[in-house]
Amino acid sequence: MALDPLDSRIITALVDDARATYAEIGSIVGLSASAVKRRVDRLLATGVITGFSASVEPAALGWSTEAFVELYCVGRTSPGDIGRALAKYPEVVSASTVTGDADAVIHLLAADVQHFERVLERISAEAFVVRTKSTVVLSRLVRRNGTSWQGMETQ
């Protein structure tokens, strides 16, 4: 679905503050609250907006170790098989297939380095895993919640 400039501006406002009222968003984009609601409902119905959530600092929940793990798999392991296996680990924040030498990249959160090591050992023991390569995050330089639409509107 192609987004018009108003839809893009509404999405930007929601990414900036998902708790904003339709009236507040309307004042930003120049529409009435009811027009914003109709557009948000349509964006939800068509799957452009996939949901609303709270963004929580992982360290506040005791998850202070963050890492990215390159996953190298046996032969032609399907993305579905990788995804199903990784979905059972609550420490996996996200996993994606990628170009390059690795088959997938995993974003992990753990309580500490020892917890990270235990999770990495369990993932490495999956039947399709040949090897892993890990990078532990020292500090985050940029962090965005959701997709940042500022400056990305279609021309």
Domains and CATH numbers, the chain: 5-45 (1.10.10.10), 58-136 (3.30.70.920)
Q: What is the pLDDT of residue 128?
A: 97
The Cα diameter of the chain in Å comes to 56
Q: What is the pLDDT of residue 135?
A: 97
Cα–Cα distances in Å, from 40 out to 16, 26, 37, 63, 73? 15, 11, 5, 33, 41
| Residues in the chain where the model's pLDDT stays below 70 | 1, 145-155
Give the CA dihedral 101, 105, 111, 112, nearest 10 degrees.
Answer: 10
Q: What is the pLDDT of residue 1?
A: 64
For the chain, percent helix, then strand, then coil, each to nearest 5? 35, 20, 45
Q: What is the pLDDT of residue 146?
A: 56
